Structure 1
Amino acid sequence: MSDSFPPEAMADVIEEIHDAVDDGEETNVGDLLDAMGRSSFVPVLMVPALAVVSPLSGVPGFSSVAGIIIALVSAQLLVGRKKLWLPDILRRRRIPSHWLERATRSLWRPARWFDRHTRPRLTFLAAAPFDRLIYLACMLCGSAMPFMELLPFTSSLAAMAVVLMSLTLLVRDGLFALAGYSMIALLFTSGAVLIF
């Protein structure tokens, strides 16, 4: 896929994931992310988050890898990089293709629901300087996800917050940013209560 690929809805991103799945037994993570385009940071941010929201979250270690990718992509958005960079150790990771097929099937219906209910509103939340808060929040979620594997389902909640905020950047719907911030506040507040 070329760098000019411009997804305009969550269903577009799901479709690109589906099309990028290798016909063989496994799919390379680098190829999957490249399908979004090396300059398309927002869909690349959304892909690992969507994967963790899907049944793939049950695969040991998968949430950690996805969280690291989310944190790296968010950091590069924060510093204004024009081309995405990921270390080869992450790009070379392989995922069983049938797992990805199952994940995309499970995501079609919610993706269509989100697409029906998104529209430009509170657009200032997706523009500078408020977009920097989204990048920071996503970086926080991604960095925390490797540790969240110790608590069932918490990494999926953090990933859902990233999905909501990347959707804000994709369609300029600030209402979903507010929902994402609320989810993060709830997640980390409840986590602090469990720790202490």
Structure 2
Amino acid sequence: MRKREGALSDVIEEMRHATGGCRAGRVSVGDLIGALDERGYGAALAVLPLLELTPVGGIPGFPTLLAVTIAIITVRMLLGYEHLWAPGWINRRTLDARRAEASLAWLKPVAGRIDAQLHERLVRLAGPVGRRVAGIAILCVLLTVPPLEVVPFATSAPMVVTSLFGLAILFRDGLLMLVAGTALAAAMTGSLWLLFGGG
């Protein structure tokens, strides 16, 4: 299968450009979403969850804001809307532009390694039906993010699972879709244990 060279790296570079020239050194969530719009849902679902793994992910409340944003984007994908969208109250939320740019720069080499490994395979599993299944799975795992904020680093697992599904959609990689499904089962089991059995 033909590989989509540099897909994730290009997406992150576009988001880095969105952090430049921001007024008062702030970048809005809407600016970041806008930078992803022409790349589509796969790019948004692949990159946005990875922000939780960067320095901005340590901002209190940010994982929940990110989960809500991703959930809205996912619902729109399931409903068949063409463009990304988030409500005004999310779009107006801002981050320190330098911190956001540094976080995206941190992701750039990670993206390069991902680009080198992923490509189209088992494409039918990543087709329209696979996208719908992935969307429903993403919404389920995102439900665990707000309560998990009270546990240090616990929100990383559901965000990684979400990113795996996004990458599978972006690269049309059916094998990765299967891996994401396995990761979902593990993440949900771990999350439920932390919430109801870990104490």
Fold shared, TM-score > 0.5 on shorter chain = yes
Partner of 1:3: none
Residue type at the aligned position of 1:45:
L
Deviation beyond 4 Å, 4+ runs, structure 1 = none
- After superposition, what is the alpha-carbon deviation per residue over 1:37-87, rounded to whole angstroms, capped at 9, x for unaligned? 267222223332121122221111110110001111111111111233311
Q: What is the Cα deviation at residue 8 of structure 1?
A: 6.2
CA shift digits 1:69-121 (9 cap, x unpaired): 11111111111112333110000000001111221121111111110001111
SS of 1:81's equivalent in the other structure is coil
Instruction: Confirm or deny: 8 A CA contact 2:46 2:162 kept in the other structure.
Output: yes
Q: Which residue of 2 aligns with 1:130?
A: 130
Confirm or deny that 1:140 pairs with 2:109. no
Q: Secondary structure at the match of 1:154?
A: coil
**1:171 to 1:39, Cα distance in 2 relative to 1, 3 A:** closer
Q: Output the CA distance in 1 between the equivalents of 2:79 and 2:7.
A: 25
Q: Structure 1 residues 22, 191: CA separation in 2 closer, same or farther (over 3 Å shift)?
A: same
For residue 54 of structure 1, what is the aligned residue in structure 2? Answer: 54
Query: What residue number does 2:175 align with?
Result: 175
2 CA distance for matches of 1:193 and 1:36? 34
2:106 and 2:40 map into 1 onto residues whose CA distance is: 24
Aligned residue in 2 for 1:15: 13
- Give me the CA root mean square deviation: 2.0
Which residue is 2:86 aligned to?
Answer: 86
Opposite residue 10 of structure 2, the aligned amino acid is: D
Partner of residue 107, structure 2:
107
CA distance in 1, matches of 2:41, 2:18: 17
Q: How many residues align?
A: 191
Distance 2:8 2:57 in 1: 19
SS in 1 for 2:151: coil
Distance, in Å, in 1 between the alignment partners of 2:72 and 2:5 is: 21
SS in 1 for 2:150: coil
Provide the residue aligned with 2:166 in structure 1. 166
> How many Å separate the matches in 2 of 1:47 and 1:130?
19
- Tell me the SS of whatever aligns to 1:23: coil
Measured at CA, do residues 190 and 98 of structure 1 come closer, stay the same or move farther in structure 2, by a change above 3 Å?
same
Flag the 1:22–1:160 CA change in 2: closer, same or farther, 3 A: same
The answer to whether the 8 A contact 1:126-1:168 is kept is yes
Q: Tell me the CA shift for residue 179 of structure 1.
A: 2.2
TM-score, with normalisation over the residues of structure 1? 0.89
Q: Distance in 2 between matches of 1:37 and 1:76?
A: 12
Aligned mates of 1:28, 1:193 — CA distance in 2: 35
Seen in structure 2, the aligned counterparts of structure 1 residues 7 and 120 have a Cα distance that, compared at 3 Å, is: closer
- Segments of structure 2 that go 5 or more residues without pairing to the other structure are none
Give the whole-Å Cα distance in 2 for the aligned partners of 1:102 and 1:125: 35
Say if 1:38 and 1:89 are closer, same or farther in 2 by CA, change over 3 A. Answer: farther
- TM-score between the two structures when normalised by the length of structure 2: 0.88
Identity rate, percent: 29
Q: Which amino acid aligns with 1:32?
A: L
